[in-house]
Structures are given as structure tokens and as C-alpha cells.
Amino acid sequence: MTEETRTCQNCKNSFVIEPEDFAFYEKMKVPPPTWCPECRLKRRMLFRNEMTLYKRKCDFTGETIFSGISRDKPVKVYKSDVWFSDKWDPMDYGREYDFSRSFFRQFKELYRAVPQLDRSVLRLIDSDYCINASDLKSCYLLFNAELSEDSAYGDGITNCKNVYDSYFMKQVERAYEGFVCLRSYNVFFSSNVSESHDVYFSKDLIGCEYCFGCVGLRHKKYMVFNKPYSKEEYFKKLSEFNTGSHKNLIKLKSEVKSFQFQFPAKFMHGYNNENVSGDYITNSHNVNNSFFIDEFENCKYCYWMGLKPIKDCYDFNWGGAAEMVYEAVAVGYEIGNVRFVYECWPGLYDSSYCMFCSAGSAHLFGCVGLRNKQYCILNKQYSKDEYEKLVPRIIQQMSEVPYKDQEGRVYKYGEFFPSDTSLFAYNETIAQEYFPLIKEEALAQKYVWKDPEERSYKITMQHNEIPDSIYDTAATILKEIIGCEHEGKCKEQCTIAFKIIPTELEFLKASNLSLPRLCPSCRHYQRVLQRNPPLLWKRKCGCTGLKSANGIYENQNMHSHGEVFCSSEFETSYAPDRPEIVYCEQCYQTEVV
């Protein structure tokens, strides 16, 4: 087929469906989408609660548990060891399909009836306040984390130890305010650092040691703001910065940010790729409009995937180790030929419109919570012959009796679950992080909003009452309830108050770093501002031959295009109005190698 431009049913903007897209949809036996990629992404995000935890009762045992589902939601919630046990049977909630009613309405009723899993966690030791996590020990408020210990306030933390207030860290020990770092040690207020140690306030370093305020270095040692020092001079300079003072820390952050804008950034983060577009892509082939992925092939619109490999997938968020997946959230391990699925892992094949189905299940349609089942519809068992006759009838009926939401948007076969199927309010989900709204904006767009629950505590110390120096901070601060500097006047899910935990105080004192003035949620939102949006813009390389187009950076090496403008064009997640100097791959590598 030829390329087609269509109008999004949701935002009314136009979007393009390429010939290879049509081929994928035909392979998956689904109609082309009626929503644009960005609106489809946001719709899937509304089902993903990554960081909001509540205390509530297990509806099976009566025990107090932690859950991503608040007490006011109209569902039962079971603790994980009960939910995965044979003490209850999700097949008991099965029902006949009613051809006089829309599929999505019937599915929503089933989803509300089947008991929910409290939170997605496995094998946690002394790490109750974590979600979407496995194999953690002595961790606190870690999300999307695994195989880590003695860490807190992180998202995307893997194989780490003593890592605090960080994002997307792998095989890192001792870090604070790290952003996308790999196989490193002693990393502080730094981003995109790998194979390095003792790095402060730096960006884009590989194989470096003892660097402060540096950008774009490879295999360097004893550097301050990209200038070389002797070992003795370096440590003398380091002591002058006094990162234990909050006032000094604020000043340093500002100076470092201005310094970093003076150097070119590569149009995308990634390596060992062929024919890819997006950001943070590695070891991939034929992948477009995708972000934070590794070992992908023939994929599009995929985001934040930690499991590999992945092949022939579209519109897939969180998960991996899968093939032939379309419109899915949090699925992985032995997954194939599935569409419109949510929280299905491990083991699901040849299925559509399922949630929390796993353990070798296959041939399911519209099911919730099934394990090791086949040929079921709405949690009701059928024979193979009955199933294969009934599913095509339901697919046809979904177009004849579509679901319409309160905005008049039509949901037929081929659409992901309507947003009102989700148990979460807009501000409880990852959508708030990428597309932040205030309450009035969310309600105007007909999203659900959840107001903060009543707190029984009172603030005992304001943020401006914290001692400036970490060394003037007494252990009694562990007893204080500190007021967040944002005071709830932001779009960052501010908790208004927070506490310092003992291991955090010990780590900050040992590292000579001042205490935070923001609550963990606001710190997270501020941290991920370093992450580009999951969107792409067409741009030209910012290299003019001898210097950058804005005249700020002077090239250090002769480029292949000589002293004239670079002709390279690319898609990048750096918007045109951003302040960064953006170079193509070749111009960037010429400067940093």
C-alpha cells in the first residue's frame, strides 16, 4: 500500500501511516489505528502507575499491604502471594458474551470484578515501599528496579548498590543524582556516564576518572571543566567547590548547566544501530520512533524496554523479550502474537485484549488474571472449535456495536482499552510525568483526577531551616518532617512534606553533599527534565564547518565537509527551540574522539 495521511480521532491532528506500517497491521490482523502515535502513547500511559503507593487492606486476608491501587477504587485487591496462589480461581468470574452490548463495557465489568494484584514485585527483602521491582534488598522508594540493594529514590535502577536519587542506572555503585549511567562508581550530579569513576557534575563521559564539570570526554583523568590538572591540583580544586554547602551546590548546578550548553550534543543517544530513529537506542536494526531500548529489530513506537531481544513490535511500552506485539503495556518473557494486552508476564501467546494473564496461557480473548489457560473468552472456558468460531463473531460485533466514551470517541476492534477502563487517575500515572497537567486541565479533558489523601502529620521544619552545610546537620533531623520547597505549587505530584532516612543521611555525609530541599517526587520530576520528550523533530546538523551554527562552539578538528555547512539532516528528540548545539553522528564523533 501507499503512504496515507489520516486525522487522529482524539486530537484531530494529522498523522502518517507508512507502507511498512500497513504491512505490520496486516500481519497482526488488526485495522490501521485511528489515533495518532502520541495519543496512543498517552492512552497506554494511563494504565501505568509507576510511583504512587498506598496502604490498604488485602481483601482476602485482611492484612495491611502496600498497593498501587488506593482504597477508594471499586475493586478487590489481593496481596501477591495470595493472588498467585490457588486459593482463588479467576475462572469463577467468567461470563457469557452478550452480543447486544459493547465488548469494552463487558470487559470493564470483568476487570472490575476479578481481584487485582496489589503491586508488581518479586523477591523483595526489607523493601516494602517499592513497586514494579524484583530482587531488591534494603531499598526504599525504588521503581522499575531489580537486582539492587541499599538504594533509594530511583527509577530504572538495575544491578546497583548505594545509588540515591537517580534515573536509569545499570551496574553502578555509589551515586547521587545520576542520570543514565552504566558500569561506574562514585558518580554525582552527572548524566550519560559509562565505564567511569569519581565523576562530579559531568555529562557524556566514557572511561574517565576524577572529572568535575566536564562534557564530552573520552578516557581522561584529573579534569575540571574540561581542563587538565595534576593529581594534587585536582584534589585541591575539588575541595574548593565545597559541595556540602547547599548554597554552593545551587551555584555549581547553574554554572555547570551554562557550561554544558557550550558543547555539541549528538542528535541521539545510542550506538551500534542501523536505520533507527528515537533516543537511547542501542544494538538495534530497523527501529523507528522508539526510546530507551536495546536489541530491537523491525519495531516502531516502542518505549522503555528492559528485556531483550524484541522483534516485530509496534506501540509497546515497558517489558520486552517478545515478538509480534501491538498496543501493549508491561508484558514480557515468552510473549508472542499478542495485541491490546496489559501486565501479562511471563508466557502468553496468540491472545487479544487481556490483562494479568500468564504462565503459558494462549488463545485468550478479553480475559483477566488467567494462568495456564487456553481458549477462554471473558474468563469462560470454550473448546478449541467453539473459541475459533466465536472470536471472529465478537470482532465483527465490536464494529457493529462499538463503545463510545463521554467524548464521543468510538472504540471498535483495533483500539486499545478506553482510558476509563484504567483504575488510575491521570495524576497517578506516568502520563503526568511526560504530559503534565494541573487538576483543572485534566478535568477539562475529561480525565479522572485524584486529590492527595489526608495526612495526619504536621510539618516540623521548613526547607529554609535546614542547615546550609551537611556537617552542621545533626542526626536529630531524622525526626523532622520537612516542608518541600515547592509547597505543592507544581505539576510534580509534590507530597508537600518529606523525611530524611538514616541511610540517606549517612550517604550524604560520607559524600559531602548537602541535604535536599525538595520531596522525593519533586526531585524525580526535576531529574527527568534531562530526558528529552518521546517525540521527534526534523532538523539539520548544527555544524557550519569551523564552528557551531550559533557561534558558541569552535570545532577542535577538521570535519569531512570542510569549512562549509554540514548537509546532514535527521530526526531528533531535541526540539528546534532547545538551546543545545545538535550535531549529526559524524560531526559529533569528530569532536569527541
Segment 20-60, tens digit of pLDDT = 999 999 999 999 999 999 999 999 999 999 999 999 999 99
Task: Give the three-state DSSP class for 27.
Answer: helix
On whether both 262 and 199 belong to a single domain, the answer is yes
Last residue of a domain, one of 492, 507, 530: 530
Residue 248 · residue 239 · CB < 8 Å: no
| Domain-embedded: residue 454 | no
Using H for helix, E for strand and C for coil, what is the string for 189-248? EEEEEECCEEEECCEEEECCEEEECCEEEECCEEEECCEECCHHHHHHHHHHHCCCEHHH
On whether both 546 and 513 belong to a single domain, the answer is no
Q: How many distinct structural domains can be found in the chain?
A: 4
On whether both 467 and 483 belong to a single domain, the answer is yes
| Domain-embedded: residue 238 | yes
| Domain-embedded: residue 71 | no
Residue 117 · residue 374 · CB < 8 Å: no
Cell of 258: 551554562
On whether both 508 and 557 belong to a single domain, the answer is no
| Domain-embedded: residue 441 | no
State the average pLDDT over residues 178-184: 98
Provide the residue type at 467 as one letter. Answer: P
State the average pLDDT over residues 404-425: 96
Last residue of a domain, one of 266, 287, 317: 266
Cell of 294: 536495546
Tell me, rounded to whole angstroms, the distance of Cα 341 from its chain centroid.
18
Q: Percent of the chain having pLDDT more than 90?
A: 94
On whether both 171 and 262 belong to a single domain, the answer is yes
On whether both 190 and 237 belong to a single domain, the answer is yes
Last residue of a domain, one of 266, 301, 333: 266
Residue 241 · residue 248 · CB < 8 Å: yes
Among the listed residues 49, 44, 39, 40, the one whose alpha carbon sits nearest the alpha carbon of residue 430: 49
On whether both 526 and 540 belong to a single domain, the answer is no
pTM: 0.93
| Domain-embedded: residue 262 | yes
| Domain-embedded: residue 471 | yes
On whether both 524 and 470 belong to a single domain, the answer is yes
Read off the pLDDT band of 332 (50, 70, 90): confident
On whether both 478 and 552 belong to a single domain, the answer is no
On whether both 523 and 557 belong to a single domain, the answer is no
Residue 525: domain span? 463-530
Mean pLDDT over all residues of the chain? 96
pLDDT score of 62 more than 80: yes
Residue of 457 and 344 predicted with greater confidence: 344
| Domain-embedded: residue 406 | no
On whether both 169 and 244 belong to a single domain, the answer is yes
On whether both 514 and 558 belong to a single domain, the answer is no
| Residues β-bridged to residue 410 | 404
> pLDDT at position 449, please?
95
Alpha-carbon span 105 to 539, nearest angstrom? 44
| Domain-embedded: residue 26 | yes
Using H for helix, E for strand and C for coil, what is the string for 237-295? HHHHHCCCEHHHHHHHHHHHHHHHCCCEEECCCEECCEEEEEEEEECCEEEEEEEEEEC
